């Protein structure tokens, strides 16, 4: 092993790394957000059947992101991925008011999971590029976010299509999560 190999190994050991669980109802935009963060083409995103795993470098942190499908039939399997989660990113379609209650109930269930106790939560209020998207105050009330007292959390307005707001969410993770 040469000096260059030793330096590379040392760099890898010092690299900050987080395990992120990306959840939300189907059609919330989870995969589009993940592809946007990875600077990949978002023009042909299909519903996730199962899960996607992607490592994304963001602001000096290696994010190992587990994007799990949000269809009702898949949600019962989410708990298989809770172990060792550093950050939960929950995505809501802020233009789909008809599903706010369902999304809020799903988030509340996640926050009660034993393996996620104390896990910081970043809530991406996606699809802000749509004219009828709900604003943060409406989402905070609809999802009962002010009741979250046992962990760090942030709601971040965003658009997975334009990328607006995504870097702000990653900055919140960088500032608030110990690596």
Annotation marks residue 71 as catalytic: yes
Choose the catalytic residue: 12, 57, 59, 71.
71
- Binding site as annotated, residues: 24-31, 48, 70, 126-129
Q: By C-alpha distance, which of 121, 117, 119 is closest to 92? A: 121
Binding residue positions for GTP: 24-31, 70, 126-129
* Nearest-angstrom CA–CA distance, 100 and 83: 27
What are the backbone angles phi and psi of residue 68, rounded to the nearest 5°? -105, 135
Binding residues for Mg(2+): 31, 48
* Residues annotated catalytic, as ranges: 71
């Amino acid at each position: 092993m040469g000096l260059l190999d030793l330096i590379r190994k040392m760099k890898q050991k010092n690299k900050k790394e987080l395990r992120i669980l990306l959840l939300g109802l189907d059609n919330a935009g989870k995969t589009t957000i993940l592809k946007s963060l990875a600077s990949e083409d978002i023009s042909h995103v299909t519903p996730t059947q199962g899960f996607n795993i992607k490592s994304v470098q963001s602001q000096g942190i290696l994010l190992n992101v587990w994007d799990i499908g949000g269809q009702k039939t898949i949600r019962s399997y989410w708990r298989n991925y809770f172990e060792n989660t550093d950050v939960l990113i929950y995505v809501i379609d802020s233009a789909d008011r008809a599903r706010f209650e369902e999304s809020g109930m799903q988030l509340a269930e996640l926050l009660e999971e034993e393996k996620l106790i104390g896990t910081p939560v970043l809530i991406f209020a996606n699809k802000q590029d749509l004219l009828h998207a709900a604003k943060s105050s409406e989402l905070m009330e609809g999802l009962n976010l002010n009741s979250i007292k046992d962990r760090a959390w942030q709601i971040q307005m965003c658009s997975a299509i334009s990328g607006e707001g995504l870097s702000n969410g990653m900055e919140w993770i960088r500032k608030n999560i110990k690596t």
